[in-house]
Amino acid sequence: MASVELTDVRKVYGSSVEAVKGVNISINDGALCVLVGPSGCGKSTLLRMIAGLESITDGTVKIDSTVVNNLGPAERDIAMVFQNYALYPHMKVYDNMAYGLRNRGMPKDEIDKRVRDAAQILELTQLLERRPKELSGGQRQRVAMGRAIVRSPKVFLFDEPLSNLDAKLRGQMRVEIKNLQRQLGVTSVYVTHDQLEAMTLADILVVMNGGAVEQIGAPLDIYEKPASTFVASFIGAPPMNLVPVTADGSGLILKDGTRIGAQGLAVPISGAVIGFRPEDLEVSAGTNTHIGGLALDLKVLGVEPVGAESYVYGIIGGERVVVRVSGRSTSQTDDHLRVIIPKEKLHLFNEAGKRI
C-alpha cells in the first residue's frame, strides 16, 4: 500500500510529439484513481509510465515517496491488469497466477497459499487446473485480477480491463473490482474511456484531453461543476447540452438570432456557452412561466423512450439538445415545447470553453 505522486510528468515521442504534457496527480494511499478521456488523450501512456513500461521524458513518478523513474516494472512493486488480460496461454490458471511469485523466488508453500487465497476471493478455485483458452471472458478477467492480487503489490494498475467484456458482464465486474479494491485497500490507477465506469469506480477522477489534465476531483464534483466544455460533454450520458450565446445590453442572443432574457447572468459581450444537463430541464406546459430560470423554445426532433425515462431530442436556438423526461413523453416530432432551465442548474463557460 502506498501513495502515488506524479509531478510534471511529460512524455515526448521522437523529438516533437508530446503525448503527455506535464501531468500532476497525487493519489492517496488506498484510493482508486480513474484516468478517463477519449482515445489518444495520453491516459494509457501515463499508466504505462507509472508501470515502468514506458520511459518518462520529464518529471517524476513517486510510489510510496520513492522516485521510481529509473526502476524497471518488476522493481516498482506494481501489478497490472491488461486490456486483453495477457494470460500466458500455455500455463494453467494456477501457474499464471504463480509465475510472478516464482520469479521472485518465493517459497513454494507461500506461493500455494497466496494463489489459493486469491482463487478463493475470485471464485476461481474450480478452475485452477484449466488453461486460459478453456475459460470464458469473465473468468479470464478474473485470472488477470488474480495474477495482480497474489503479488499484493503497492499499486494496482488497470488498463481498460473491462472493455473486452459484454455490457452485462462489464457492469458485474465493475462492481466486483470496486469491492475488491475496497476490501484489499490497495492504491489503484484505472484507465478507461467509459465515463460510466469512471464515475462509478473513482475516488479521484482525472479527466484527460490531448495529453493534459482537464480536471481532477471527486466524480460527483466533476459532474456538478465541470471545469470546461470538454469535461461537461465527456462526463454524463447523455452529455451536457451546450448552447453558444452572445449578449448585448438587454439580453442573450442565440445562434439563430432568438433573443431571451438574461436573467441576471453575467455573460461577456464577446460570447459564451451555456450548458445544462438533460435532466435539469423542466418542460413547461404554459407558454411563458419561468421562475428564476432561462425559458427557451425547443423544437422536437424525435423521442427515444428507454423505459423508465425518455430522451427528447430537439433544437434550441439552432443547437441540438437532449432533454431527459421521466416516464413516457407525450411529445411528438415537430412539437414546440417551452423548457425552463433553473438558474442554479446553469453552467456558464467562456469562449475558450473554460468555466466562468
Partner 1 sequence: MIQNNPIGRIIAHIILIVGILIVAFPIYYTFVASTQTLQDIIRPPLSLLPGGHFWENYSSALFGGIGKIGGVGVDRLLLNTLVMALGIAIGKIIISILSAYAIVFFRFPGRMFFFWFIFITLMLPVEVRILPTYKIMVDLGLIDTYTGLILPLMASATATLLFRQFFMTIPGELVEAARVDGAGPWRFFKDILLPLSKTNIAALFVILFIYGWTQYLWPLLMTNRNDMATIVIGLRKMIDFTDANTQWHLVMVTCILAILPPILVVVLMQRWFVRGLVETEK
Q: Which chain residues interact with partner 1 by CB under 8 A?
A: 51, 53, 72-74, 78-80, 82-84, 86-91, 99-100, 103-104, 133, 147
Helix (H, G, I), strand (E, B) or coil at 163: coil
| Nine-digit cell string for 235 | 462526463
H helical segments located in 10-88:
43-51
Given the complex with partner 1, which of 136 and 172 has the nearer CB atom? 136
Given the complex with partner 1, which of 79 and 296 has the nearer CB atom? 79
* Number of neighbouring beta carbons within 10 Å of residue 226: 25
| Nine-digit cell string for 312 | 427528447
Beta pairing partners, 243: 274
Closest to 159 (Cα-Cα) out of 124, 188, 202, 138? 188
Closest to 170 (Cα-Cα) out of 149, 141, 190, 212? 141
Q: What is the dihedral of CA 16, 17, 22, 23, to 10 degrees?
A: -170
Q: What is the smallest separation between the CB atom of 98 and partner 1, expressed in angstroms?
A: 10
Q: What is the smallest separation between the CB atom of 133 and partner 1, expressed in angstroms?
A: 8
Helix (H, G, I), strand (E, B) or coil at 54: coil
Given the complex with partner 1, which of 187 and 228 has the nearer CB atom? 187
Closest to 89 (Cα-Cα) out of 165, 163, 126, 143? 143
| Beta carbons of 119 and 97 less than 8 angstroms apart | yes
Give the angle subtended at the CA of 155 by the CAs of 152 and 158, to the nearest 5°. 105
Q: What is the smallest separation between the CB atom of 167 and partner 1, expressed in angstroms?
A: 23
3-state percent helix, strand, coil for the chain, nearest multiple of 5: 30, 35, 35
Given the complex with partner 1, which of 13 and 356 has the nearer CB atom? 13
Q: What is the smallest separation between the CB atom of 83 and partner 1, expressed in angstroms?
A: 7
Q: For the chain, first and last CA: distance in Å?
A: 39
Q: What is the smallest separation between the CB atom of 24 and partner 1, expressed in angstroms?
A: 25
Given the complex with partner 1, which of 53 and 247 has the nearer CB atom? 53
Q: What is the smallest separation between the CB atom of 333 and partner 1, expressed in angstroms?
A: 47
Given the complex with partner 1, which of 54 and 280 has the nearer CB atom? 54
Q: What is the smallest separation between the CB atom of 190 and partner 1, expressed in angstroms?
A: 16
Given the complex with partner 1, which of 103 and 250 has the nearer CB atom? 103
Given the complex with partner 1, which of 44 and 228 has the nearer CB atom? 44
Given the complex with partner 1, which of 2 and 79 has the nearer CB atom? 79
DSSP state string for 216-231: EE-HHHHHHS-SBHHH
Q: What is the smallest separation between the CB atom of 49 and partner 1, expressed in angstroms?
A: 13
Q: What is the smallest separation between the CB atom of 188 and partner 1, expressed in angstroms?
A: 15
Q: The cell 491488469 sits on which residue?
A: 81
User: CA 266, CA 27: separation in Å to the nearest integer?
Assistant: 36
Helix (H) or strand (E) holding 214: strand 212-217
